[in-house]
Amino acid sequence: MMGNVLWLTGLSGSGKSTLAESILTKLVENGSTATLIDGDRVRDAREKRLGFSRYDIEQNGFHVVQLCEKEIITNDYVIVAVITPFETVRKEARARLEPRYFEIFVSTSLDICKSRDTKGLYRKAELGEIENLVGVSPDVLFEVPGSADITIDTNEATVEEGAEILLSSIGKWLHGQESER
């Protein structure tokens, strides 16, 4: 049996990785096999270093889709925490991974993301030290998902609340899949 992909998309600092780690822990505690694909780790592990142009960001996203195709063979859940700012990549992921693809938009205001900026990316972008920061630079604006399966608003929700909402939604989604069989 193939696993399911839980694809979290949102700005840097929106809480994707934190939410993904919480979900991973809960799924494993409940006896599921699960793995986490984190955008930063994927980018760091690639032999060919990609930049942050639109093209490079898309290529990184397509690479993550390939990783998911491999990981769903041996895991009940593959949790993806990648910015994925472009609809082209999200559509490709859905096309290649459906019916086992569940898209989660982690919605957070830019101001909140900036306040959570542990990497200092937003500050560096404001100072002109880095270019092409998703959601800030005009060449790499974040395209809000039009077909996300669920939106988690982390402006006010805690990680625990977000994880509970998400796990409940996943349960309903999986139950719907079983009903269709």
The structure tokens 């900026």 sit at 117
Is 3.40.50.720 the CATH classification of the domain at 4-180?
no
- For CA atoms 73, 78, 83, 89, the dihedral sign is positive
- Enter the pTM of the model: 0.91
For 31, phi then psi, to 5°, come to: 95, 5
For 136, phi then psi, to 5°, come to: -120, -50
pLDDT given for residue 138 in this prediction: 87
The token pair that represents 113 in the structure block: 């993301």
9 by Cβ neighbours in 10 Å (0-12 / 13-18 / 19+) ranks as: buried
What are the structural domain ranges in the chain?
A: 4-180
Distance CA 171, CA 26 (A): 13
pLDDT < 50 positions in the chain: 180-181
pLDDT given for residue 181 in this prediction: 39
Cβ atoms within 10 Å, residue 40? 13
Distance CA 167, CA 148 (A): 15
Distance CA 37, CA 67 (A): 8
pLDDT given for residue 110 in this prediction: 94
